[in-house]
Amino acid sequence: MLIMWLQLAPGQTAISSPYLRSLFYLAISGQDHGSEIGWKVVQFKRSWARYLPEKLLKTMLRYHDRLYGTVVIKEPVIPALIETAAVQRLRGVLQHGITGLIGITKPTTRFEHSLGTMILVKRMGASLEEQIAALLHDVSHTVFSHVVDYVYHNHNNQSFHDEHKVRYIAKTDLPEVLARFGFDWHDILDETRFTMLEQPAPALCGDRVDYFLRDSLDLGLATKKEVDWMLSHLRVYQDRFVVDDLDVACWLGDTYIEADKASWANFREVGIYELTARVIRWALRQGVLDETDLWGQDRVVWQKLQAADDPDLRIMLATITPDTQFVWDEQMPDFRVSTKIRTIDPDVILADNCAPLSNYDPAFAQRRSKYLNDKTGMWPMKVLSG
């Protein structure tokens, strides 16, 4: 929920003082989780913030997140970016894509994850630039999220949104908004500068921690108490995320594998992704969809596919349901597919020593290695329609 400290009279949409009116982005009509947020935008110069009373800055804007609780957002660039069409689009892009849309997984949005990642790096002391980078890190995700990686046969890397980020953002309203506040959008996209936000796998980073914790709650793999416990042991060491407790590190490593089994590299979900990718490839070839549709919203594109007058497309769409199952069939598979296998090996700092969990715990290293070996490769899948 977004809460303004400044009270407005019923029907009032701006502060009466011309001076204050020139300074603020006002958040009007904050509602509960998942609802639309209306923003009233008024011109703001970032350099003027030093003239505002400290009390007012500290109470300007609050956002409530289900993982991290309520956070105060002082910098007006953040609500300005949230108001952009590019970020608002993420309200209609689900973390799990098609499986979230048809009810196999929870319908957590990229918008929720993006704000959550921003809050996480903020609470760990990240710079404003890194907070902005966190807010925008998934802005170029296409409809159905990682399904697009199956469309273009990039399922092992799942990097389509990163590869097209510059091209996509250049056409959005983000560069203009960032420039208004004194930021160069090219600098924000250089994620090598933001080491709390992103790290190569299998290290911890803000992005990885946030989606893991949200999905672990949604999948029933973690409780809110366990999430709070883990976050209480999260630290920053040499500008990157580590934990300071071996039990927490083991819980992270093992539960992350369970989340991969349950969802990210789940046999049925991968099968549904591949079927959906085939539908999208067909729709693109037949002109039912064009590339601009890929940067729309899940439900809009799904309805467009459902409405198409294409008998072959309808047959394919009929297989994409919660009732569809898949079996491993080496002899007569309908298709063979691989996917990205996700694990973490969190760094642990004990006294003056910082090293990956696998260095401290050989048993975890063996479990992780076995999981990667068992899951890697092409999966022969036969479709059993519901």
177-228: per-residue pLDDT in tens? Answer: 999 999 999 999 998 999 999 999 999 999 999 999 999 999 999 999 999 9
Q: How far is 322 from 383, CA to CA, in rounded Å? A: 13
Mean pLDDT (the chain) is 86
User: What's residue 385's pLDDT?
Assistant: 77
Any bridge partners for residue 349, and if so which?
Answer: 354
Print the SS3 string covering 268-298. Answer: HHHHHHHHHHHHHHHHHHHCCCCHHHHCCCH
pLDDT digits (tens, 9 = 90+) for 329-373: 999 999 999 999 999 999 999 998 999 999 999 999 999 999 999
| pLDDT band per the 50, 70, 90 thresholds, residue 57 | very low
Span 43-69, average pLDDT: 59
Q: What is the CATH number of the domain that holds 106?
A: 1.10.3210.10
pLDDT of residue 72: 86
pLDDT digits (tens, 9 = 90+) for 110-153: 999 999 999 999 999 999 999 999 999 999 999 999 999 999 98
Q: How far is CA 54 from the centre of its chain?
A: 32
**The pLDDT value given to residue 74:** 87
Q: What pLDDT shows up at residue 221?
A: 98
CA angle 116, 118, 122 (to 5 degrees): 115
Q: How far is CA 212 from CA 252, 329, 337, in A?
A: 9, 31, 24
Q: Is the pLDDT of residue 320 over 60?
A: yes
Q: Is residue 335 part of a domain?
A: no
* Domain range enclosing 157: 2-266+341-375
156 belongs to a structural domain: yes
- Average pLDDT of span 13-21: 35
371 belongs to a structural domain: yes
137 lies in some domain: yes
CB 95 within 8 A of CB 145: yes
Domain presence at residue 238: yes
Task: Please measure the distance between the N-terminal and C-terminal CA atoms of the chain and give it in whole angstroms.
Answer: 39
145, two tokens? 């999220």
In a domain, 273, yes or no: no
**187: amino acid identity, one letter:** D
pLDDT of residue 159: 82
The total number of structural domains in the chain stands at 1
**Exposure class string for 167-178: b at 16+ Cβ within 10 A, else e:** ebbeebebbebb
**Worst-scoring range by mean pLDDT, 35-39, 168-172, 264-268, 339-343?**
35-39
Q: Give the tens place of pLDDT for each residue, 91-106.
A: 999 999 999 999 999 9
Residue by residue, what is the 3-state secondary structure of 108-126? Answer: CEHHHHHHHHHHHHHHCCC
DSSP label of 193: G
Biggest CA–CA distance in the chain, Å, is 75
Q: Which residues contact 5 (CB under 8 A, 6 or more apart)?
A: 56, 59, 60, 61, 62
Contact assessment for residue 216 and residue 210, using Cβ atoms and an 8 Å cutoff: no
Three-state DSSP class for 82? helix
Q: Is 332 inside any structural domain?
A: no
Is the pLDDT assigned to residue 22 strictly greater than 60?
no
Q: Using one digit for the tens of pLDDT, what is the confidence trace for 214-256? A: 999 999 999 999 999 999 999 999 999 999 999 999 999 999 9
Residue 10 confidence (pLDDT) above 80: no
Domain-located, residue 291: no
Provide the pLDDT confidence category of residue 60 given band limits of 50, 70 and 90: low
Q: Which residues contact 250 (CB under 8 A, 6 or more apart)?
A: 357, 361, 364
Whether omega for the bond prior to residue 200 falls within 30 degrees of 0, making it cis, is no
pLDDT, residue 27, reads 35
